[in-house]
Structure 1
Amino acid sequence: MPQLILSPWFFILVVSWVIFLTIIPSKVMNFYFNNEPETASTHKPKTHAWDWTWH
């Protein structure tokens, strides 16, 4: 059964995880995001009570 031969598949697994954990995160983190987070406003919006006109 060729599925039990560990030799080529273990190497492919290790190399793919090395790529996923080292190269790809550094490439993704280099992107500049246009929407930078801003501090929340201290101004609270004025809310109105809801009229229950059918009661």
Structure 2
Amino acid sequence: MPQLNPNPWLFVMILSWLTFSLIIQPKLLSFTPTNTPSEKTLTDTKSSSWPWPWT
């Protein structure tokens, strides 16, 4: 059964993971986020209930 032979696909998988881990991932991690989180205090908003006509 040819689908059980890992000979060509194991090498492809290992090569793709090494490419991702060694080349692509450091390039992506070097970017700085444009929207850095800020230390905002949360404000409570008061909401009034809606005056439903049938209650």
The answer, yes or no, to whether TM exceeds 0.5 is yes
Equivalent residue, structure 1, for 2:44:
44
Note closer, same or farther for the CA distance 1:43–1:10 as it changes in structure 2 (3 Å cut): closer
| RMSD, aligned CA | 2.5
Unaligned runs of 5+ in 1: none
CA distance in 1, matches of 2:20, 2:6: 24
Q: What's the offset of the Cα at 1:52?
A: 0.5
Equivalent residue, structure 2, for 1:29:
29
Equivalent residue, structure 2, for 1:16:
16
What is the aligned-residue identity percentage? 33
CA distance in 1, matches of 2:30, 2:43: 34
Note closer, same or farther for the CA distance 1:5–1:17 as it changes in structure 2 (3 Å cut): closer
CA distance in 1, matches of 2:53, 2:34: 45
Deviations 1:1-55 (A, max 9, x none): xx8582x554333222101122211111111221111234232112111111244
Q: Which amino acid aligns with 1:32?
A: T
Structure 1 stretches of at least 4 aligned residues deviating more than 6 Å after TM superposition: none
